[in-house]
Amino acid sequence: MADDVRSAAPGLAGSTRLVAVAHTFASASATSEIPLAAGDVVVQCWFEVTTAYNAGSTNVIIVGDGTTTNKYLTSSDVTEGTPAVYPTGGKGPFPAETGAGTLTVGYTQSGTAAGTGAGKFYALITSAPA
């Protein structure tokens, strides 16, 4: 059966992986754990708020590649104070990476410091074909 799929969709294939980074209000302002290689493609990404972030004025989650802080998710993509998945349906695909990087979840807050807040960033990534 795999031969039928290959003949119907010829070409080179890379590996695909679903990755996740946990985040809490008490995390460092930037959490980096997932390496990206040149040629990797972030096919889709999203952030799941599991516990509302409750800083007094603003809570901001962004996701970047270690160079561009909001390359994948910007300040308007996540509603940090309401548990749900953001953005609805995910965001992507993005252009292939031109160099190595690291998926980085950033968090900033203002006003009274947050006492709660937790979530997880997810990304579906395909690597460059061999």
Residue 129 has a pLDDT of 73
pTM to 2 decimals?
Answer: 0.87
Residue 27 has a pLDDT of 81
Residue 3 has a pLDDT of 47
Residue 9 has a pLDDT of 56
Mean pLDDT by runs of 10 across the 130 residues of the chain is: 50 82 85 88 96 95 93 97 96 94 93 95 87
Residue 10 has a pLDDT of 61
CB count, 10 Å around CB of 77? 17
- Sign of the Cα torsion 86, 47, 16, 127 reads positive
What pairs with residue 17 in β-bridges?
125
Residue 86 is inside which H or E element, if any?
strand 84-91
Residue 1 has a pLDDT of 41
